[in-house]
């Protein structure tokens, strides 16, 4: 998604004020303030604040969290960024434990990439489904489908 409200050549109706949400087909987005410098594809949590939603590092909580993928980089905290919360996108995926197409993936506390959750069984930690397989030891951009439901983030 490019700055200026364009995505795949479509003009987004409305403004891009903090907390603005919109969808294009199955994809859903939210405009939020960054908590730190962020790269495209980073996996983050979206949390409420008194001034509107903000990104956060993922943390282990007993409660459910909204997880998203950064669509535009932020060089510093406080910058407005577009985060995708549902649908098809490119996200960082850790392939140390091989991830194959259709595997369920989770994000662990303080991590910024998806990891294998369970190959064929969805859990309360499952946040995305692999569209591409990943076998690289380090995080790499890969196609995923964000389920779009709040999840519990595990500590490890």
**Does residue 112 contact residue 44 with C-beta atoms inside 8 Å?**
yes
Q: Positive or negative CA dihedral for 88, 22, 127, 55? A: positive
Same structural domain, 12 and 71: yes
| Domain span holding position 125 | 90-146
Compare 135 and 12 and report the one with higher pLDDT. 135
Residue 67 has pLDDT above 70, yes or no: yes
105-116: pLDDT as tens digits: 999 988 999 999
Same structural domain, 26 and 47: yes
Question: Would you state the torsion angle of the CA atoms of residues 140, 106, 29, 83, taken in this order, to the nearest 10 degrees?
Answer: -50
Same structural domain, 139 and 97: yes
- What the block records as the tokens of 14 is 């409305």
Phi and psi, residue 3, nearest 5°: -65, 155
Final residue before a domain boundary, out of 87, 110, 131? 87
Domain count, the chain: 2
Band of pLDDT at residue 136, cut at 50, 70 and 90:
confident
Same structural domain, 76 and 19: yes
**Does residue 35 contact residue 56 with C-beta atoms inside 8 Å?**
yes
Same structural domain, 117 and 70: no
6-58: pLDDT as tens digits: 444 444 555 668 888 899 999 999 999 999 999 999 999 999 888 889 899 88
Q: Summarize the confidence of residues 130-150 as an average pLDDT.
A: 92
Same structural domain, 129 and 114: yes
Same structural domain, 97 and 53: no
**pLDDT at residue number 137:** 84
**pLDDT at residue number 6:** 40
Rounded to two decimals, what is the model's pTM?
0.86
- What the block records as the tokens of 109 is 């506390």
Written in H, E and C, the secondary structure of 16-59 is CCCCCEEEECCEEEEEEECCCCECCCCEEEEECCCCCCEEECCC
């Amino acid at each position: 998604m490019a700055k200026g409200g364009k995505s795949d050549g479509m003009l987004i109706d409305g403004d891009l004020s903090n907390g603005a949400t919109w969808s294009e087909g199955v994809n859903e987005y939210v405009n939020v303030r960054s908590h730190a410098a962020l790269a495209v594809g980073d996996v983050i949590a979206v949390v409420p604040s008194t001034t509107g939603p903000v990104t956060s590092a993922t943390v282990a909580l007993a409660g459910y969290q909204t997880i998203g993928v950064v669509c535009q980089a932020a060089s510093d905290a406080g910058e407005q960024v577009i985060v995708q919360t549902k649908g098809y996108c490119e996200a960082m995926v850790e392939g140390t434990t091989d991830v194959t197409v259709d595997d369920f993936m989770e994000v662990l506390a303080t991590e910024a990439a998806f990891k294998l959750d369970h190959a064929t069984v969805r859990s309360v930690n499952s946040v995305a489904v692999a569209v591409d397989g990943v076998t690289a030891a380090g995080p790499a951009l890969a196609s995923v489908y964000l389920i779009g439901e709040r999840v519990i983030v595990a500590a490890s």
